[in-house]
Amino acid sequence: MASEKRLYRSRDALIGGVCSGIAEYFDIDPIVTRILAVVLTLASAGALAIAYIALWIILPLAPDPAVPLEVQPESVHSDTYGPIDFDAAKPKPHTGSEDRTAAHPTAQAAPYSPYANAGASYAGTGHVPPEPPKPYADVASPHVARASRVSQAAYTVPIPPTAQAAYAPPVGAPVQPAEPVSGKSVRAALWLGFLCLFIGCAAILSQFIDGVAWWRFWPLLLVIVGIGNVVIPAPRGRRMGQFVNGLMSIAAGVVLLAMSLEIIDWSSIVPMLEELWPLLVMMVGFFILASALHNPLCELLAGLCFVGFCVVGLVWFAEPGSTDFITLALPFKEALTIDVNPWH
């Protein structure tokens, strides 16, 4: 009977393993659940983070599949020869005062096998595993060794020369091992992909938003890079660092994008620094503790301090900019005007 499917926190975790565990439960890609988690967290103003922490605490960690299972059977039943009791077949320990090994120096203790007593009755049947062949060095007689080599050669299937030539490399061709993929090449490919995504998104937004040039969306590159760092899995030991960097990049990109589009004024940086500098000091302190203790939780708290600095500064200490409304030129529809400046 199939085991009941349960929801666990995955061991292949980026933070707590909740998103990966949900992906494994529904048999989908973990990147999909991570993207949805980031989008819903931003859309709910951080409310989803509370649910994530609650699931982190409630859900158990997935069992380790590498742990071996100890199996101790009591008996084996055969429809032809009946049951074989392991406890009955196991030899009883000798309780006498004499030592059989001392009495017979050449005798060696044989390992216990539950088929030892069944072999005499069922010799040659399929229920008794055959004895492993002895190496040639242990064979006493040279005639027996030669007979063993002859019997071994009799069961060797020769490979035709045409088949050998089909799988063999050309004569004289050097055999070169596969070159490993360089980490620099992977990083260069990622940055090239991020840059292409930014150019495409900026060009599309500039076509739909009237009066805004495409280069004013440059902070969008920080947002795209941050989302990539959050959803793309990193090697073990660097996952939390990559996640925190992505989180900080998204927060900084959102604030700078609002300033670049003149939704808030660039002078908002001054009151943000004057009022919220303790959060930046705490961020530096958590980063120092994370570097000294190698604690990923301190690294996560440092990133949350920077995100809090950006969110609180954007909501309470931002100065309104010159852009109050953004007009979207939608195809086949009338233009849509959106009020994007709640600070005016």
Report which of residues 31 and 289 the model is more confident about.
289
Instruction: Indicate whether 111 belongs to any domain.
Output: no
Per-residue pLDDT reduced to its tens digit, 218-271: 999 999 999 888 888 777 778 888 889 998 999 999 999 999 988 888 999 999
Terminal Cα distance for the chain, rounded:
65
What is the 8-class DSSP label of residue 57?
Answer: H
**Mean pLDDT of the residues in the chain:** 74
Instruction: Indicate whether 260 belongs to any domain.
Output: yes
Instruction: Indicate whether 254 belongs to any domain.
Output: yes
Instruction: Indicate whether 291 belongs to any domain.
Output: yes
Per-residue pLDDT reduced to its tens digit, 92-114: 555 554 444 444 444 444 444 44
Q: How many domains does the chain have?
A: 2
Alpha-carbon span 73 to 70, nearest angstrom:
10
Q: How many CB atoms lie within 10 A of CB 61?
A: 13
Paired with 337 in beta bridges are: 327
pLDDT of residue 172: 55
Residue 84 pLDDT level (bands cut at 50, 70, 90): low
Instruction: Indicate whether 157 belongs to any domain.
Output: no
Instruction: Indicate whether 138 belongs to any domain.
Output: no
Instruction: Indicate whether 196 belongs to any domain.
Output: yes
Helix, strand or coil, per DSSP, at residue 339 = strand
Residue 85 pLDDT level (bands cut at 50, 70, 90): low
Q: Are 279 and 305 in contact (CB under 8 A)?
A: yes
Residue-number span of the structural domain to which 303 is assigned: 186-339
Paired with 209 in beta bridges are: 328
Please name which of 198, 196, 247 lies closest in space to residue 218, comparing C-alpha atoms.
198
Paired with 83 in beta bridges are: 77
- Are residues 50 and 194 both part of a single domain? no
pLDDT of residue 284: 95
Lowest-pLDDT choice from 128-142, 155-169, 181-195, 238-252: 128-142
What is the 8-class DSSP label of residue 214?
Answer: G
Total residue count of the chain as it appears in this document: 344
Q: At how many degrees (to 10) do helices 47-58 and 18-26 cross?
A: 80
pTM (two decimals): 0.57
Type of residue found at 247:
L
Residue 139 pLDDT level (bands cut at 50, 70, 90): very low
Instruction: Indicate whether 120 belongs to any domain.
Output: no
Per-residue pLDDT reduced to its tens digit, 40-69: 777 776 778 788 888 888 888 888 766 565
Per-residue pLDDT reduced to its tens digit, 199-216: 999 988 888 887 788 888
Say what the alpha-carbon torsion angle 135, 141, 146, 148 is, to the nearest 10 degrees: -50
Alpha-carbon span 221 to 227, nearest angstrom:
10
For 85, the enclosing helix (H) or strand (E) is strand 82-85
Please name which of 127, 134, 131 lies closest in space to residue 148, comparing C-alpha atoms.
134
